A and B are shown apart, each in its own frame.
Chain A
Amino acid sequence: QKEVEQNSGPLSVPEGAIASLNCTYSDRGSQSFFWYRQYSGKSPELIMFIYSNGDKEDGRFTAQLNKASQYVSLLIRDSQPSDSATYLCALYTGRRALTFGSGTRLQVQP
């Protein structure tokens, strides 16, 4: 089992819809969770982090964490074509470096 699992997609949503990206992890000791966005040919950009169970909202983005079920999700409201990118879930599993999922490719159709 991979430490961090994401559906590779592509996840296709129409413009204006809610995009829901999911991530599951295996290490119950993980404490910090991150969502990065990576446009094609660019480096990852941090968009959200969450440490506590529940929801955390920042503009059109909401991160949700459920430690009991070992999943973290990212909701993007009012999706725009500019949101089309690969979204990487990452967390600290006790190593010094973040452990990344392989990413979910999101396509927002105009």
Chain B
Amino acid sequence: GAVVSQHPSWVICKSGTSVKIECRSLDFQATTMFWYRQFPKQSLMLMATSNEGSKATYEQGVEKDKFLINHASLTLSTLTVTSAHPEDSSFYICSAKTSGRRETQYFGPGTRLLVL
């Protein structure tokens, strides 16, 4: 299957700082990437859809000014958690969608964020 990477895999930061997470599709071009968040023992929650060359589409209840998404190229999307607080501590996972007749989503390995 296709390969998606995420960096960093772990972040520990102080409250009030901003954290940037990168998501890369390594062996295919992805016009669409997605950002999910998952709290312990809970389901994946879609936060936003990242569109190459245009603004991201946010799910209801997700603050677009807090979670900044940039999809500057066909292989890179970034999520910046601005002014992070302890309640933002979570497992952030990106996925990239292949294009073509049979689209498929592949997930990155995830980034675990801990805000102190």
* Chain A positions near chain B (C-beta within 8 angstroms): 32, 34, 36, 41-46, 49, 51, 88, 90, 92, 96-98, 100, 102-103
Contact = CB atoms under 8 A, between A and B. Distances in A.
B115 interface: no
B25 interface: no
A34 B95 CA distance: 14
A96 B49 contact: yes
B107 A43 contact: yes
B8 interface: no
B93 A49 contact: no
- Tell me if B's interface is mostly helix, strand, loop or mixed: strand
B34 A43 contact: no
B60 interface: no
B43 interface: yes
Interface in B76-109: 91, 93, 97, 102-109
A95 to B, nearest CB: 9
A43 B110 contact: yes
Given A43-B109, A46-B1, A100 B43 contact: yes
B30 to A, nearest CB: 12
B104 A51 contact: no
B32 interface: yes
B83 to A, nearest CB: 26
Nearest to B4: A43
A-B interface, 5 closest residue pairs, ranked by CB to CB distance from nearest: A43-B110, A43-B107, A102-B43, A43-B93, A44-B107
